[in-house]
Amino acid sequence: MVFGSGVKEPDVSWDGRMSLAHHDVDAVDARIARKYAGEIVHLDLSHNRFEDLRSVADFARLTTLVLDNNRITHAVHWPYFPGLRTLWLNRNRIDNLSVFIGRLSAAFPNLAHLSLMDNPCAPSFFNGGSRNENADYRLFTISRFPHLKHLDWAAVDDKEREEAVRVYPPGRLGGDDAAGAAGSSRRRSSSRRKASSSSSSSSSSSKRGAQGADVDQAVQDEEAARERESKREHRKSQQVKAPKKQGFNYFEEP
């Protein structure tokens, strides 16, 4: 089939593979999508100018998507492909790991193979990243994909997955940046200190409240005692003692 208008015919194989690699395009032509979207399971779009993936939204049967050497950033919006198992994004422009992985895991929840090599968000020997930086990047990414078996050049083993879940527990926030295990530990320590401080403050407040109640009661008791004493003195002052008679009447003139 000739599509015309400079649109190149894609390479399509009998087993559901299609390649538009090196076609210098930034989208899948709508005519190509209409013709092949329902039968393609493996789509190679590498070495192009893709920044947006809306043109592949109809390829709902995809299990493999190759986007190496494009212009993908962390801000891209992905179509929802629950059946996608393999995604290659090597040598793109992805820099914000937390935002990118959050969107990626929501779009492809069953991803098993992911490669992000030579992106700013994936520190490694390709871009001058240290071993610790690469380890932390791996832990964060693995923690967000429960079915991930292979990340970049290395398989994901049980030990690494356990560590990923420990350092970056599922369901944390989202907004969770990949600050590193040390940063995560510092945040947890800070939270514990705040909780301890709050508990101590609450305990101190309770003690101060109890002490204050004791003082108030003592003051009230003292005031009541003073009032009783005052009443006794008043009654005494109102009493007139009759003088003893000694042969005459003190109230009569002599």
Tokens of 177: 């940046």
Tokens of 144: 């967000």
Rounded CA separation 227/162 (Å): 74
pLDDT tens digits in sequence order for the chain, 254 residues long: 444 456 678 889 889 999 999 999 999 999 999 999 999 999 999 999 999 999 999 999 999 999 999 999 999 999 999 999 999 999 999 999 999 999 999 999 999 999 999 999 999 888 888 899 999 999 999 999 999 999 999 999 999 999 999 999 976 544 444 444 333 433 443 444 444 444 444 444 444 444 444 445 554 565 565 566 655 655 555 554 444 434 333 233 33
- 80: DSSP letter: -
Rounded CA separation 61/165 (Å): 30
Could you give the C-alpha distances from 199 to 46, 188, 190, in angstroms and in order?
A: 57, 16, 14
Rounded CA separation 113/102 (Å): 16
Rounded CA separation 58/37 (Å): 6
Contact predicate 84/108, CB 8 Å: yes
pLDDT of residue 250: 27
Rounded CA separation 142/132 (Å): 15
Quote the strand ranges of the chain, DSSP E: 11-12, 17-19, 42-44, 64-66, 86-88, 113-115, 150-151, 154-155
Rounded CA separation 5/35 (Å): 17
